Structure 1
């Protein structure tokens, strides 16, 4: 029973964090993903998802259409202190977008799915990547959730 109460408290805390982030984004507040941690934020938009990794800017006019968010790793957000920090965070966000575009430019869905899985396992670790749903990866690189599931199953079989 105590384990269940503990789990409920963690879920409640995470939901509160998500609600605060969404409020900041809808208020067009500019924040930066802490560049000194392995963390990031998946931003769910109407027709796709974007990943903002360490050092990337979120909010302002970039993310006014965000519907939901999913913290990855131990998320830490900061407010930019200088205009140079702001500029650097914009440039880093652009790099994350370019990387996603490079992955998405591959015309073979299974390859896109495999590359995004490999990238998340590299940026974080296998355990963190495994926590993310197939639907999330699918939205990041424009494949069907079934494609992600198939690629994940094949990867798991190779590891055995």
Structure 2
């Protein structure tokens, strides 16, 4: 797979990711756990986790792209690879949507942080801007600041994020 990678580095500049997404080519996030891209559109953001489709018509209008982990973007070669990549993107969207359905903004903030920490790691999430995380679930950046504080304090009432089911 790495021979097909368009880019692979510890820190891929967001401008490079953004230009690849704007190219109109359908790409796939490397399937290694911890790799993801947060794609920011005008009024919302979406996370595309490991194995997810990015670019193409999905993200041609994106305004910002935040790479997480040692990101590598590959071209899905076959129809089956494209289908699986679209399915993974859809799973990530559905999982984020489940979090966003919670009526309590602070709980939405906590849930999205836990979900991101579970799949991308605490260190990677600590570096993400609050406004970007807030866009994922429709809360204010200040809510994410408060949710981060709640998560570092002892858990009294644990709210669990939805699981991402991966096809093996």
Could you say which TM-score interval applies, normalised by the shorter chain?
Answer: 0.7 to 0.9
Higher helix share: 1
Contact 2:28 2:53 in 1 (8 A): yes
Secondary structure at 1:115 match in 2: helix
**Of 78, 94, 97, which aligns to 1:98?**
94
Question: 1:132: which partner in 2?
Answer: 128
Question: 1:77: which partner in 2?
Answer: 73
**Of 109, 114, 123, which aligns to 2:110?**
114
Secondary structure at 2:91 match in 1: helix
Q: Distance in 1 between matches of 2:88 and 2:151?
A: 30
- 1:7-156 equivalence runs, <5 A: 14-15=12-13, 18-156=14-152
Report the TM-score when normalising by structure 1: 0.85
**Any unmatched runs of 5+ in structure 2?**
1-8, 156-168
Secondary structure at 1:61 match in 2: coil
CA RMSD of aligned residues (A): 1.6
Q: Distance in 1 between matches of 2:150 and 2:141?
A: 14
Q: Distance in 1 between matches of 2:150 and 2:32?
A: 33
Contact 2:41 2:64 in 1 (8 A): yes
1:100-148 Cα offsets, whole Å, 9 max, x none, are: 1111011110110010111111112211111112111101110011111
Q: Distance in 2 between matches of 1:36 and 1:153?
A: 29
- Structure 1 runs of 4+ aligned residues shifted over 3 Å read none
Query: What number of residue pairs does the alignment pair up?
Result: 146
Q: Greater Rg, structure 1 or structure 2? A: 1
Q: Distance in 2 between matches of 1:57 and 1:70?
A: 15
Offset of 1:81 from its aligned partner? 1.4
**Any unmatched runs of 5+ in structure 1?**
1-9
Offset of 1:36 from its aligned partner? 2.8
1:51-72 Cα offsets, whole Å, 9 max, x none, are: 0000000011101110011101
Larger RCO of the pair (alpha carbons < 8 Å, separation 6+): 2
